[in-house]
Structure 1
Amino acid sequence: MSNKKILTGNEAVARGFFEGGGVIASSYPGSPTVQILDSLKQYEEIYSQWGTNEKVAMEIAMGGSIAGAPSMVSMKHVGINIAADPFMTFTQIKTKGPLLLVVGDDPGLTSSQNEQDSRFYAKFANIPVFDPCNPQEAKDFIVEGIKISEKFNTPVMVRLTSRLCHCRGIVELKDRVAFSYDGFIEDQSRFCMLPPYANAAQHFMKERMENLKTFNNTYSLNNLETKGSGTLIITSGMCYENLKELDVNVDILKLGMIYPLPMDLIKDLYSKYENVIVLEEMLPFIENELKVEGLTVIGKELFPFTGELTLETIKAGLIKANIINEEVQGVEAEKVPPRTPMLCSGCPHRPIFHILKMNKATVIGDIGCYSLGILEPFEVHKTNISMGASLGMVLGLAEAESKIDKNRPLVATIGDGTFFHSGITGFLQLAQTDKNITVIVMDNRTTAMTGGQITPTTGDYFKEEGGYTVNIEGVLKSIGISDITVVDQFKYKETKEAINNAMKRNGLSVIITTRPCALNFKVKKPHYYVDENICIGCRSCIRTNCPPISMKLYDGKDKKNSYIDSNMCVGCSVCSQVCPVGAIKCSKSE
Structure 2
Amino acid sequence: MLTKNILTGNEAISRGFYEAGGLVASSYPGSPTVSILDSMRSYNEIYAEWGTNEKVAIEISMGASIGGARSIVSMKHVGINIASDPFMTFTQIKTKGGFLLVVGDDPGLTSSQNEQDSRFWGKFANIPILDPSTPQEAKEAVKEGLKLSEEFNTPVMIRLTSRLCHARGIVELEDRIEHIPEGFVEDQSRYCMLPPFANAAQHFMKERMVKLEQYNNININNKLESKGSSTLIITSSLCYENLKEIDTNVDILKLAMVWPLPIDYIKTLSEKYERLIVIEETLGFIEDELKIRGLNVEGKVYFPFTGEITVESIKIGLKDANILDIEMPLIEKEYAVRRTPMLCSGCPHRPIFHILKMAKATVIGDIGCYSLGIQEPFEVHKTNISMGASLGMALGIVKAQNLSGNKKPIVATIGDGTFFHSGMTGFLQLSSSKENITVIVMDNRTTAMTGGQITPTTSEYFKDLGTHSVNIPKVLNSFGIEDVTVVDQFKYNETKKEILDAIKRDGLSVIVTTRPCALNFKVKEPHFYVDSSVCISCRNCIKTNCPPISMKLYKGKEKKNSYIDPSSCVGCSVCSQVCPVGAIKRSNIEK
Normalising by the residue count of structure 1, what TM-score does the alignment of the two structures yield? 0.99
Where 1:59 maps in the other structure, the secondary structure is helix
C-alpha distance in 1, partners of 2:333/2:91?
44
Q: Quote the offset at 1:326 in angstroms.
A: 3.1
Q: Quote the offset at 1:463 in angstroms.
A: 2.2
AA at the equivalent of 1:42: S
Q: Quote the offset at 1:329 in angstroms.
A: 4.8
1:145-224 paired onto structure 2 within 5 Å: 145-224=145-224
AA at the equivalent of 1:37: L
C-alpha distance in 1, partners of 2:156/2:588?
58
Aligned to 1:283: 283
Unaligned runs of 5+ in 2: none
Residues 326-370 of structure 1 deviation map (CA, whole Å, 9 limit, x = unaligned): 326599885433321100000000000000000100000000000
Tell which deviates more after alignment, 328-337 or 215-224.
328-337
1:208-247 paired onto structure 2 within 5 Å: 208-247=208-247
1:281-360 paired onto structure 2 within 5 Å: 281-327=281-327, 329=329, 335-360=335-360
C-alpha distance in 2, partners of 1:523/1:180?
45
Where 1:26 maps in the other structure, the secondary structure is strand
C-alpha distance in 1, partners of 2:508/2:478?
15
Aligned to 2:33: 33
Aligned to 2:46: 46
C-alpha distance in 2, partners of 1:441/1:115?
28
AA at the equivalent of 1:306: T
Where 1:356 maps in the other structure, the secondary structure is helix
Where 2:245 maps in the other structure, the secondary structure is helix
Kindly tell me the number of residue pairs found equivalent between the two proteins: 590
Where 2:61 maps in the other structure, the secondary structure is helix
Q: Quote the offset at 1:229 in angstroms.
A: 1.2
1:436/1:506 contact within 8 Å kept: yes
AA at the equivalent of 2:88: M
1:255-266 paired onto structure 2 within 5 Å: 255-266=255-266
Unaligned runs of 5+ in 1: none
1:129/1:258 contact within 8 Å kept: yes
Q: Quote the offset at 1:461 in angstroms.
A: 1.0
Residues 301-338 of structure 1 deviation map (CA, whole Å, 9 limit, x = unaligned): 00010000111111110110011123265998854333
AA at the equivalent of 1:324: L
Q: CA RMSD in A?
A: 1.1
Aligned to 2:402: 402
Q: Quote the offset at 1:62 in angstroms.
A: 0.4
C-alpha distance in 2, partners of 1:244/1:329?
20
Tell which deviates more after alignment, 499-508 or 326-335.
326-335
Aligned to 1:470: 470
Where 2:568 maps in the other structure, the secondary structure is coil
AA at the equivalent of 1:490: F
Percent identity for Structure 1 against Structure 2: 73
Aligned to 2:447: 447
- Alpha-carbon distance change, 314 to 516 in structure 1, aligned in 2, over 3 angstroms: same
AA at the equivalent of 1:137: E
1:409-424 paired onto structure 2 within 5 Å: 409-424=409-424
C-alpha distance in 1, partners of 2:433/2:403?
15
Residues 122-180 of structure 1 deviation map (CA, whole Å, 9 limit, x = unaligned): 00000000001011111110111011101100000000000000111110100111112
C-alpha distance in 2, partners of 1:129/1:67?
23
AA at the equivalent of 1:382: K
C-alpha distance in 2, partners of 1:473/1:490?
19
C-alpha distance in 2, partners of 1:427/1:449?
22
Q: Quote the offset at 1:434 in angstroms.
A: 1.1
C-alpha distance in 1, partners of 2:553/2:227?
65
1:457/1:466 contact within 8 Å kept: no
1:454/1:465 contact within 8 Å kept: no
Aligned to 1:571: 571
C-alpha distance in 2, partners of 1:329/1:224?
31
Aligned to 1:490: 490
Residues 33-72 of structure 1 deviation map (CA, whole Å, 9 limit, x = unaligned): 0000000001111000000000000000000000110000
Q: Quote the offset at 1:464 in angstroms.
A: 2.9
Q: Quote the offset at 1:432 in angstroms.
A: 1.6
1:366/1:388 contact within 8 Å kept: yes
Aligned to 2:270: 270
Aligned to 1:460: 460
Where 1:435 maps in the other structure, the secondary structure is coil
Residues 399-445 of structure 1 deviation map (CA, whole Å, 9 limit, x = unaligned): 11111221111000000000000000000000121111000000000
Tell which deviates more after alignment, 333-342 or 282-291.
333-342
C-alpha distance in 1, partners of 2:497/2:328?
65
1:130/1:159 contact within 8 Å kept: yes
Aligned to 2:512: 512
- Alpha-carbon distance change, 117 to 108 in structure 1, aligned in 2, over 3 angstroms: same
- Alpha-carbon distance change, 519 to 271 in structure 1, aligned in 2, over 3 angstroms: same
AA at the equivalent of 1:347: C
- Alpha-carbon distance change, 332 to 92 in structure 1, aligned in 2, over 3 angstroms: farther
1:455/1:466 contact within 8 Å kept: no
C-alpha distance in 2, partners of 1:333/1:584?
42
C-alpha distance in 2, partners of 1:434/1:187?
48
C-alpha distance in 1, partners of 2:249/2:401?
61
AA at the equivalent of 1:517: C
- Alpha-carbon distance change, 44 to 349 in structure 1, aligned in 2, over 3 angstroms: same
Where 1:323 maps in the other structure, the secondary structure is coil
Aligned to 1:58: 58
C-alpha distance in 2, partners of 1:440/1:341?
22
Where 1:220 maps in the other structure, the secondary structure is coil
Residues 262-286 of structure 1 deviation map (CA, whole Å, 9 limit, x = unaligned): 1111111111111110000111000
Aligned to 1:525: 525
Superposed structure 1 runs of 4+ greater than 6 Å apart: 330-333
C-alpha distance in 2, partners of 1:113/1:242?
26
Q: Quote the offset at 1:228 in angstroms.
A: 1.3
AA at the equivalent of 2:293: E
C-alpha distance in 2, partners of 1:330/1:63?
56
Where 2:297 maps in the other structure, the secondary structure is coil
AA at the equivalent of 2:254: K
C-alpha distance in 2, partners of 1:222/1:96?
26
Aligned to 1:19: 19
Aligned to 2:135: 135
Q: Quote the offset at 1:220 in angstroms.
A: 1.2
C-alpha distance in 2, partners of 1:335/1:3?
42
C-alpha distance in 1, partners of 2:254/2:97?
29
Residues 483-532 of structure 1 deviation map (CA, whole Å, 9 limit, x = unaligned): 01000000000000000000001100000000000000010100000001
AA at the equivalent of 1:15: R
Aligned to 1:253: 253
Where 2:278 maps in the other structure, the secondary structure is strand
Where 1:303 maps in the other structure, the secondary structure is coil
1:77/1:104 contact within 8 Å kept: yes
AA at the equivalent of 1:450: T
Query: Does 1:541 find its partner at 2:541?
Result: yes
